[in-house]
Amino acid sequence: MNFLQSFFKKSIEDKIYDIAAQLAYYFLLAMLPLLMLLISIIGFFSIDTDGILSLINAYVPGGAFVIIQNNLNAILNSQSVGLLSLSTTATLWLSLMGTFAIIRAINAAYRLKIPSLLSMLGKGIILVLSLLLAIIISLLLPIYGEPLGAFVFRFIGLDDYFLQLWSWIRWIISFLVIGAILGIIYKVVPNRKTTWRESLPGATLALLTWQAASFGFSFYVSVSDYSMIYGNLGNLIVLMLWFYLTGFAILLGGEWNACLYERDNKAIEI
């Protein structure tokens, strides 16, 4: 109980509720160029728009999904020769702004000195590339996982039961990929040597919090009509709130790891 009280008190003192709003703003700005970049890259794998949207729909609340769907269709209808280079530059810059905010917040939770600009830039690039890789894998597994699993299982002589089991396993792998990215964040971001074991508790908490918040918020949105309050901005508000919950989950995991670090240090001193 003392640890939980310290954790909640520290979270309030570090203003993670305010910083999550800052992250939501950066996420919103980076969303469109990120979609442009992903479409440009995934186009080499011959994945149709419906396959991408079906995966996104599993995680995003309904109102937010409408905005993403409309933007995605607009992107596909207006591709140009310089699309990949433009979207890559915009995605990298806007995503770096978001990672800088995460780096500052998590190091503040540890009461550590903020890394130098060069160090933040290197860590930010690692996080952005890891995020892009995770998104691509999460997109490819549900789409290409079934034919790949069918080929492997039939090659080694397993029956259809294992093929049905694989349909669940490939979704679980996509889920774990997100957890791995969170683990990378808590391993790389602190301005101190951090082991994978130390990063695991926060990554687990952030992953479970994000999933619970996403599903809970999706249900709330399904029974509530934001357009009655915000009019045509209703779907945009839903998207911003979902981004806010995402940023909050990331910061919450960082605070959890920082509290564990402080507790362990106090135990060693005693």
The share of the chain scoring above pLDDT 70, in percent, equals 58
| pLDDT for residue 203 | 92
Q: What is the predicted pLDDT for the residue at 81?
A: 45
Report yes or no: 206 and 189 within 8 Å, Cβ to Cβ: no
With respect to residue 10, please indicate whether it lies within any of the assigned structural domains. Answer: no
| pLDDT at residue 93 is higher than 60 | yes
pLDDT at 227 over 90: no
Please tell me the predicted confidence (pLDDT) of residue 250. 92
Report pLDDT digits (tens) over 33-59: 666 666 666 655 555 556 666 666 656
d(CA 67, CA 54): 14
pLDDT of 252 strictly over 90: yes
Comparing 147-156, 184-193, 254-263, which segment has the lowest mean pLDDT?
Answer: 147-156
Q: What is the pLDDT of residue 241?
A: 85
Residue 4 lies in a domain: no
- The pair of structure tokens assigned to 205 is 């908490």
**Residue 212 maps to a domain:** yes
Q: Could you tell me which of 126, 141, 237, 240 has the C-alpha nearest to residue 181?
A: 126
pLDDT tens, residue by residue, 126-173: 888 777 777 666 655 655 555 555 655 665 666 566 656 666 776 677
Tell me what pLDDT residue 88 has.
63
User: Residue 3: inside a domain, yes or no?
Assistant: no
Domain assignment of residue 148, given as a range: 18-269
| Predicted local confidence at residue 204, as pLDDT | 93
Residue 87 resides in a domain: yes
Tell me the C-alpha distance between 234 and 240, whole Å.
Answer: 10
What pLDDT does 200 receive? 93
Alpha carbon distance 210, 245 (integer Å): 7
Place of tokens 């996080």: 127
Residue 155 falls inside a structural domain: yes
pLDDT beyond 70 at 87: no
Model pTM? 0.75
Q: What's the confidence (pLDDT) of residue 48?
A: 59
The answer to whether 256 and 202 are in contact (CB under 8 A) is yes
CA–CA distances in Å: residue 266 to residues 106, 138, 223: 20, 40, 47
Amino acid at 95: S
Cα separation, 81 vs 85, in Å, equals 9
Enter the DSSP assignment of 191: S
Whether residue 2 is contained in a domain is answered as: no
Other beta carbons within 10 Å of 117: 9
Q: Which residue has the higher pLDDT, 159 or 89?
A: 89
pLDDT at 59: 60
- Cα angle 209, 213, 219; round to 5: 155
Whether the pLDDT of residue 85 is over 70: the answer is no
Alpha-carbon gap, residue 264 to 270, rounded angstroms: 10
DSSP per residue, 47-96: --HHHHHHHHHTTS-HHHHHHHHHHHHHHHTT--TTHHHHHHHHHHHHHH
Question: Is residue 241 in some structural domain?
Answer: yes
- Token duo for residue 201: 């508790």
pLDDT on residue 238: 77
Residue carrying the six token digits 């299982």: 153
Looking at the 3D structure of the chain, how many domains does it have? 1
pLDDT band at 213 (very low <50, low <70, confident <90, very high): confident
Q: For the chain, what is the mean pLDDT? A: 76
